[in-house]
Amino acid sequence: HPHSHPRHPGACTMLPLLLLLLPTAHGIVEHVDYVPFLVKTPTLEGLTTASTFVLEQPRCLFNKYSNVDIWLVVALEQTASKFNNSVEPGTPESAFQLFPDPVPAYMTLNATLANYPCPKPNGEITVLRVGSETSCARDMARYSCNGPLPGPGPYKVKFLALKGSKPVAETNWSQPIMLRTAKSPSSITTMDRGHSAGMIALTTILSILFAILLAGLVAMLIFWGSDSCGGSSTFSKPEAVTVRRYNTHHVYDQPAARL
């Protein structure tokens, strides 16, 4: 354009530099090479249920930082990539109650380093049950509620360390986590067809045996009833008990007195 001002020769060079420096303005988030995982203790019941799952605690991951809060980020597998780690916890943008739409991932189970001592004391249970709180599931005053998970998933989780409201470190996303689901009646019929046939056969045999036993009992009752009518009942009136009177020998058998 004839009236446009010539572009400064350094403008094209400065723009990439500004783009590179932009993340520094917000702070660099360190990547911790750790993948959250489900607890592998076989003695612990209910590692996954229809609305919860149990994770191992993140011990010895963020010890190089001081005064940080550690948050658990929960997302669906298909929404995990939409999570922005600059979103502050305890806000509508990270609220459990608005997950998964419009909130792609919510933040919960905040803890300090004191809650995750390193190394782990012997005998201490070091698990996190995700989805265990029901009282705050619809309480919009508690955006960081650890409420029941809304469906079978699959879910992904990661841990995020914040200093104040600024993220400083985060782990990898976990592998997809599926929750338990109830079997549909059709799947039960299809999978247990042989078992059902066996049960039908067993039920038939037991019914036949019960019928034979019942017929035998009826026949015995008829037989006893006929004997009773013919006067040959086995039950008879007990004979009267008689007591024989004995006289003492020395009173009546002595010889007559002599005159």
17 in any annotated domain: no
105 in any annotated domain: yes
Enter the tokens of residue 162: 């914040």
Q: How confident is the model at residue 43 (pLDDT cuts 50, 70, 90)?
A: low
**Whole-angstrom distance, CA of residue 10 vs CA of residue 17:** 11
CB-neighbour burial class of residue 108 (10 A; exposed 0-12, middle 13-18, buried 19+)? buried
151 in any annotated domain: yes
> How much is the mean pLDDT over the chain?
79
250 in any annotated domain: no
pLDDT of residue 161 exceeding 80: yes
Per-residue pLDDT tens for 68-123?
999 999 999 999 999 999 999 999 999 999 999 999 999 999 999 999 988 887 87
Three-state secondary structure call for residue 41: coil
> Which amino acid belongs to residue 161?
A
Which pTM does this prediction carry? 0.62
Three-state secondary structure call for residue 234: coil
**Whole-angstrom distance, CA of residue 188 vs CA of residue 196:** 10
Percent of all residues in the chain with a pLDDT value above 90, rounded to a whole number: 49
Residue 116 is part of which domain span? 30-180
CA distances from residue 250 to 85, 123, 243, 245, 258 in whole angstroms, order as listed: 125, 97, 21, 15, 17
pLDDT of residue 6 exceeding 60: no
92 in any annotated domain: yes
211 in any annotated domain: no
Q: How confident is the model at residue 184 (pLDDT cuts 50, 70, 90)?
A: low
44 in any annotated domain: yes
Average pLDDT over residues 55-75: 94
**CB within 8 Å of 33: residues ≥ 6 apart:** 171, 172
pLDDT of residue 9 exceeding 60: no
User: What's the total number of domains in the chain?
Assistant: 1
Q: What is the pLDDT of residue 209?
A: 84
14 in any annotated domain: no
CATH number of residue 91's parent domain: 2.60.40
